[in-house]
Structure 1
Amino acid sequence: MKVFFDPIQKAHAPETFLVSGMWRPCPEVPERADRFLAAVRDLGLSVTAPGDAGMAPLAAIHTAEYLDFLRTIHARWQDLGGSRDVLPNVHPVGREGCYPRSPVGRAGYHLGDTACPVTAETWEAVYRSAQTAVAAADAVRGGDRVAYALCRPPGHHAAADLAGGFCYLNNAAIAAQRLRSVYDRVATLDIDLHHGNGTQNIFYQRGDVLTVSLHADPMDFYPFFWGHAAERGAGPGLGANLNLPLALGTEEAGWLAALDVALARIAAFAPGALVVSLGVDASAADPFGGLRVSPEGFVAAGQRIAALGLPTALVQEGGYLSDSLGLCLNRFLSGVLETVGA
């Protein structure tokens, strides 16, 4: 299994984010990458820095306005005398019509919540994170059975022109679109604790990319406004979106049962390739505490996903600091490796 990561991805390090009206330390920290790297190396896998495929794979998913915003907003914010990190203080009720000239207005337009502060290093980090996903997709396009992109920052909450939930560029969507150049149909499977609302939004009206997500019920959990079972896609994408919300505290057996439903839908779609948004924050030990999956549950998940027999790009999403963070990734990847024999 090829593994891709660039140390530049660790440069993004916001200090705080706002939750429940209180400033708290940001849990999406560079140490996450260190834990994941150790887990990969414990399996005897080597890590390669991705190449640079340029802006085209990013622009295939994200708008030019948004990419320019991410690249330039921090400098413009500092010119205003703003805070260390770019943080929005106003949001539009609707996003059609006027596009503000002011950096303050643009921050509110493109940053969907206060869990996606932009630092001086954010653009380079998220750019390299996206290139990591491209590299994994290209390995799969080139004939590898499975490849792992250690993407950090994560991406599945990012829409075409909107950041949110620690996510800026949608790495999984970028990988899926990259694979579409080879395969007529591609499926995405999101097993992160949180619904992949950005991925859903990007592909919601497309029938060539199936989006499937199992996650804590958004009636009670972030991202709240998306991820409900009634969301099935629209237009040509009607029926190409499946959400499997789970009650908070769902145990491992229920999570794996939902995964089996997800895998059956993917098999019925008959895609040429699969992108897995690999969050491990469904772990019972994760500080977000939404679901109750053990490290051995991740072994079973890796085995079942690999048993589909599809060329697969694994794209890292969530999973936050706990004693078992690296172990959960290690066990998932071991389940994949045992099944594909690579």
Structure 2
Amino acid sequence: MHAYLSTAQSDHAPQTFLHQGVLKPSPEAPERIGILKDAAQAAGCSFTAPPDAGLAPIAAVHSSEYITFLRTIHARWSALDGAAPEVVPNIHPRARADSYPSSPVGQAGYHQADTACPIGPHTWNAAYASAQSAIAAADAVTSGAPHAYALCRPPGHHAYTDQAGGFCFLNNSAIAAQRLLAAGHRPAILDIDVHHGNGTQGIFYDRADVLTVSIHADPADFYPFFWGHAQERGAGPGLGANLNLPLPRLTGDEGYAPALDAALARISDFGTTALVVALGLDAHEADPFKGLALTTPGFTRIARTLTGTGLPLVLVQEGGYVSDHLGTNLSAFLSGL
């Protein structure tokens, strides 16, 4: 299987993660790449560095104002007297229609939804390279590959058009879907990460040309809390083009299967011609976030079910954090294809 990864994706090394008021090391660590790469190669993937498709495919999803922020904020932040090594917001606007400040501190609050997306000196280059991997995978499918895997790290599905959040800076799955759309496909995104893909939903919420579907732990008591509920169906032209399938905490394989069937039925009814899979592996029972309780064989069954659709698949890596099962889960999924 075609697979894409840039060495620059390892350069982003976030140090901080505020969890329930406790400052901890970030679980979105560069070592995830080595574990996932080894597992993908064991499953038959052959990695190449993605070509540089430029900013245009990224700017088709993200605002130029936001791209400027990501490119420049660390240097501007570092020039502040006494600034910390990472950009972490400490203030947010009451509403995002409020004024746009010139201060790096104010802009950080505007463009970073939470404290889980600290920006370091290499964050922009790593996020840019991660997006290029997603673009390359979409192009491979457009060129006739049945499936392609983008080892996207940092991940992307919590990033909105102009806002980072939840370890994410550029929305790789959305960028891949937009790329497929531009190539003449009718794309859908199926997000199987344990967390709702709120950024992906937000990007396409009022659009009818990309279907967004997410299966995830119920946000009533799980990140991202404010988005991902079943009643969120889209707006305006996009009404009915967003489907959320929240599951109770610690749902296992048996409870997951009906949700996947419902997701694929909607994807079929959309007339989908290519499917972007936001491939979170953090729904596993041993993942540190403990949201759902899928087994390793469960990931193989998900992959076999997706293959049964006959759709070309663009696999975009999202979550899945360091545990003894991370690589095994990816190998199990890829082997199911």
What's the TM-score, normalizing by structure 1? 0.97
Q: CA RMSD in A?
A: 0.8
Structure 1: tracts of 5 or more residues without a match:
337-342
Separation in 2 of the partners of 1:153 and 1:90?
A: 24
Separation in 2 of the partners of 1:184 and 1:324?
A: 35
Separation in 1 of the partners of 2:184 and 2:222?
A: 34
State the match for 1:40 in structure 2: 40
State the match for 2:11 in structure 1: 11
Separation in 1 of the partners of 2:211 and 2:200?
A: 10
CA contact (8 A) 1:183 1:273 kept: no
The answer to whether residue 256 in structure 2 is matched with residue 255 in structure 1 is yes
| C-alpha displacement of 1:44 | 3.0
The answer to whether residue 221 in structure 2 is matched with residue 207 in structure 1 is no
AA matched with 1:277: A
| C-alpha displacement of 1:159 | 0.2
1:23-51: CA deviation from partner (whole Å, max 9, x where unpaired) = 01100001111110010111232210000
1:144-193: CA deviation from partner (whole Å, max 9, x where unpaired) = 11100000000000000000000000000000000001235210000000
Separation in 2 of the partners of 1:255 and 1:326?
A: 21
State the match for 1:339 in structure 2: none
Separation in 2 of the partners of 1:212 and 1:44?
A: 28
State the match for 2:23 in structure 1: 23
What's the TM-score, normalizing by structure 2? 0.99
Give the alignment of 1:9-158 within 5 angstroms: 9-81=9-81, 82-158=83-159
| C-alpha displacement of 1:18 | 1.1
Aligned length, in residue pairs = 336
State the match for 2:311 in structure 1: 310
AA matched with 1:242: L
Of 237-246 and 14-23, deviating more is 14-23
1:253 is paired with a residue of what secondary structure?
helix
1:50-88: CA deviation from partner (whole Å, max 9, x where unpaired) = 000000001000001100000000000000031000000
1:232-269: CA deviation from partner (whole Å, max 9, x where unpaired) = 00111000000000000111111122111111110111
CA contact (8 A) 2:185 2:274 kept: no
1:276 is paired with a residue of what secondary structure?
strand
AA matched with 2:39: A
- Report percent identity of matched pairs: 61
Structure 2: tracts of 5 or more residues without a match:
none
Separation in 2 of the partners of 1:45 and 1:200?
A: 29
| C-alpha displacement of 1:97 | 3.8
Separation in 2 of the partners of 1:260 and 1:31?
A: 34
